[in-house]
A and B are shown apart, each in its own frame.
Chain A
Amino acid sequence: MRLVILEDYDQASEWAAKYICNRIIQFKPNQGRYFTLGLPTGNTPLGCYKKLIEYHKNGDLSFKYVKTFNMDEYVGLPRNHPESYHSYMWNNFFKHIDIDPNNAHILDGNAPDLQAECDAFEKKIEEAGGIDLFVGGIGPDGHIAFNEPGSSLSSRTRLKTLAMDTILANAKYFDGDLSKVPTMALTVGVGTVMDAREVMILITGAHKAFALYKAIEEGVNHMWTVSAFQQHPRTIFVCDEDATLELRVKTVKYFKG
């Protein structure tokens, strides 16, 4: 893996955004050849999205020939609810850039047949030629997307029940009322993300430090599903100093040097 350590959140966000931007530009996407990007939600990638929007507004980056696939979406939350991942992506990204709405794919948590919706999503990724770069985050419990502890490391897009850790972490977005937090979500599987040609995981903040330690310094384990990426040929972990607090000094020195 590559472990890229930046001093703080802003620098980590900028590094990640520059990386994505360069990947797209170097790919030279056009009408017959789209760049496919996997995208996360949550607090961590907000800075990265802001930077990507800045590059777009400067005229340096166009999303005209980019297809995006989001990792997950809550089940049963109305699509226009302010906390749905559709709302998140619209407000924090899509409304500021020039992506074709037909190319922005997000799982529909209100589909009449949820498993069929998941299967169709996998099919769409396949039809798009697979994912060139999947950007993700890590939960405090080491999950990638909503692949909670105990998820199969070869899982595909499916319905998952959220772990209590995740529900507690999400409560702040629902007025602190646990009863309002969705308990189920549709999510890409660990296997789905592993299929991507390149993976970039963003990890910032001291509260994610232990999960990062478990993900890269311990073994591959379905209790810390991000650890699966130890077996991916091309993964980059982008962190800030705080996220490395639980790592061995030797590891940090190696990757910084």
Chain B
Amino acid sequence: MPSNKSVSDAPIVQFTNCRILRSHQLQREDLWVREGKILNPEKLFFDEKGSADIQLDCKDSIIAPGFIDVQINGGFGVDFSLATDDFKSGLDLVSQKILSHGVTSFCPTLVTSPPSVYHQVLPQISIRNGGAHGAGILGAHLEGPFISKEKKGAHPEHCLRTFEAGAFQDLLATYGSLDCVRIVTLAPEMKRSSEVIRELTKQGICVSLGHSVANLSQAEEAVQHGATFITHLFNAMLPFHHRDPGIVGLLTSDKIPAGRRVFYGMISDGIHTNPAALRIAHRAHPKGLVLVTDAIAGMGLAPGRHTLGQQVVEIDGLNTYIAGTKTLSGSVATMDTCVRHFQEATGCSVETALEAASLHPAQLLGIEHKKGTLNYDSDADFLMLNDDLYVQATYIAGEEVWRQDALGM
């Protein structure tokens, strides 16, 4: 039966024999797509008297919203913090490769770097829709250089900066432009950070707390000024202490402004956090958990030495350290691995694990009306997964952009 011509000529695709993640549950419903968006089939039936042009049997797959990675430093040999001549093609390569991990949107992340790097790299990152060419870019995540020396982790000390001289102007001069910046990670205990947080928030940029020795009150103050995210919880911050929980205490703080939620990134690769710690965080504040990969250039490559901005890192299995040290530096886990590990470690439901990588990052960035769900009128960015949460196919705007081939490669 032809689709109704009065509203749109575009073909309507009906994905059948599947379980879709909707309203926090896996439901046995068909997924309808038209013009890159999820379509309401009841409205189509009664208002437009329309029906599907194409019906696809999904062989009982799980259909979930595409994953959104808000902290990824590179992969497949590409390092977003390196101002190379072929930066753009490197960015394109990563965005194309991560489709097979189920990532349909991401924030290319830059670690602490000298201003010259930001000035050369940031203009080459533009916010763009995903498609067959690769996952969509939501904007850059700038992790540093306004972070704590004591908690620099793998970041180069000589590039760290403070706000003391010119606060926001300093930040602007360092980065060059904030046009396509989506998230900034900073240490809130730094002097004048409040004004910076307020200004960034005013400009619609998500402020994240990380690489910091802030205590709980400093962290709460930062949240009151607009901060909404915590960068890789537990890592590069003071450990939880029962008389001063530090940044970790934000998960159960009673000083969060009404109507706001604090989100926190977790690298659930089994290395950055002990599963027990992952469980404690998840149980304390399940709705705020955002899975991130914090993947570095070595992700997707063989073990050995790779760069991370100004540093050299060594990869051995899933472990990545600053060469010659035991300091963790990013990860090589893929997003779908993180989702599976999170589900196993916490024993949570499949729905919860999937939402931690889709709905929650979308909510963090305030884009859940079009990304991160399978609600009607949302962008049709979705995944077909098997029951063990392995990605079988990736779709962006309703088009298949990656499929697991029969040989499992």
- Residues in A lying within 8 Å of B, measured CB to CB: 79-80, 86-87, 90-91, 94-95, 100-102, 104, 106
Q: Is B30 an interface residue (CB 8 A)?
A: yes
Q: Which residue of A lies closest to B40 (CB)?
A: A80
Q: What 10 new A-B contacts, CB under 8 Å, besides A90-B45, A100-B51, A101-B44?
A: A79-B46, A86-B46, A87-B42, A95-B30, A95-B41, A95-B42, A95-B45, A101-B48, A101-B49, A102-B49
SS class, residues of chain A in contact with chain B? helix
Q: Report the minimal beta-carbon distance from A111 to chain B, rounded to whole angstroms.
A: 13
User: Which 6 pairs of residues, A with B, have the shortest CB-CB distance?
Assistant: A101-B49, A90-B42, A101-B45, A102-B49, A86-B46, A100-B1
Cα A106 to Cα B42 with chains together (Å): 13
**Residues B50 and A101 in contact, CB atoms below 8 Å apart:** yes
Q: Which residue of A lies closest to B1 (CB)?
A: A100
- Residues in B lying within 8 Å of A, measured CB to CB: 1, 30, 41-46, 48-51
A-B contact pairs, 17 of them (CB 8 A): A80-B42, A80-B43, A86-B46, A90-B42, A90-B46, A91-B42, A94-B45, A95-B41, A95-B42, A100-B1, A100-B49, A101-B45, A101-B48, A101-B49, A101-B50, A101-B51, A104-B45
Cα A61 to Cα B30 with chains together (Å): 21
Cα A32 to Cα B1 with chains together (Å): 17
Inter-chain contacts of B51 with A (CB < 8 A):
100-101
Cα A90 to Cα B45 with chains together (Å): 8
Q: Which residue of B lies closest to A103 (CB)?
A: B49
Cα A90 to Cα B44 with chains together (Å): 11
Cα A102 to Cα B43 with chains together (Å): 13
Q: Report the minimal beta-carbon distance from B328 to chain A, rounded to whole angstroms.
A: 49
Q: Which residue of A lies closest to B14 (CB)?
A: A95
Q: Report the minimal beta-carbon distance from A157 to chain B, rounded to whole angstroms.
A: 19
**Residues A101 and B46 in contact, CB atoms below 8 Å apart:** yes
Q: Which residue of A lies closest to B46 (CB)?
A: A86
Inter-chain contacts of A95 with B (CB < 8 A):
30, 41-42, 45
Cα A90 to Cα B49 with chains together (Å): 12
Inter-chain contacts of B42 with A (CB < 8 A):
80, 86-87, 90-91, 95
Cα A80 to Cα B44 with chains together (Å): 12
Inter-chain contacts of B50 with A (CB < 8 A):
101
Cα A102 to Cα B44 with chains together (Å): 11
Cα A100 to Cα B41 with chains together (Å): 13
Q: Which residue of A lies closest to B42 (CB)?
A: A90
Q: Report the minimal beta-carbon distance from A66 to chain B, rounded to whole angstroms.
A: 14
Inter-chain contacts of B45 with A (CB < 8 A):
90, 94-95, 101, 104
Cα A86 to Cα B41 with chains together (Å): 13
Cα A80 to Cα B47 with chains together (Å): 11
Cα A160 to Cα B51 with chains together (Å): 33
Cα A101 to Cα B52 with chains together (Å): 11
Cα A80 to Cα B48 with chains together (Å): 14
Q: Which residue of B lies closest to A90 (CB)?
A: B42
Cα A251 to Cα B48 with chains together (Å): 49
Cα A104 to Cα B45 with chains together (Å): 9
Q: Which residue of A lies closest to B48 (CB)?
A: A101
Q: Which residue of A lies closest to B47 (CB)?
A: A79
Among B43, B46, B48, B50, the most chain A Cβ lie within 10 Å of the Cβ of B46
Cα A99 to Cα B45 with chains together (Å): 10
Q: Which residue of A lies closest to B50 (CB)?
A: A101
Cα A27 to Cα B298 with chains together (Å): 68
Cα A101 to Cα B48 with chains together (Å): 9
Cα A80 to Cα B41 with chains together (Å): 11
Cα A154 to Cα B211 with chains together (Å): 80
Cα A119 to Cα B88 with chains together (Å): 65
Cα A95 to Cα B51 with chains together (Å): 10
Q: Which residue of A lies closest to B4 (CB)?
A: A101
Cα A79 to Cα B46 with chains together (Å): 9
Q: Which residue of B lies closest to A87 (CB)?
A: B42
Inter-chain contacts of B48 with A (CB < 8 A):
101
Q: Report the minimal beta-carbon distance from A213 to chain B, rounded to whole angstroms.
A: 38
Inter-chain contacts of A102 with B (CB < 8 A):
49
Cα A91 to Cα B44 with chains together (Å): 13
Q: Which residue of A lies closest to B41 (CB)?
A: A95
Inter-chain contacts of A94 with B (CB < 8 A):
45
Inter-chain contacts of A87 with B (CB < 8 A):
42
Inter-chain contacts of B43 with A (CB < 8 A):
80
Cα A104 to Cα B67 with chains together (Å): 39
Q: Report the minimal beta-carbon distance from B244 to chain A, rounded to whole angstroms.
A: 46
Cα A104 to Cα B48 with chains together (Å): 12
Inter-chain contacts of B49 with A (CB < 8 A):
100-102
Inter-chain contacts of A80 with B (CB < 8 A):
42-43
Cα A100 to Cα B4 with chains together (Å): 12
Inter-chain contacts of A86 with B (CB < 8 A):
42, 46
Cα A94 to Cα B42 with chains together (Å): 9
Q: Report the minimal beta-carbon distance from A41 to chain B, rounded to whole angstroms.
A: 15
Inter-chain contacts of A101 with B (CB < 8 A):
44-46, 48-51
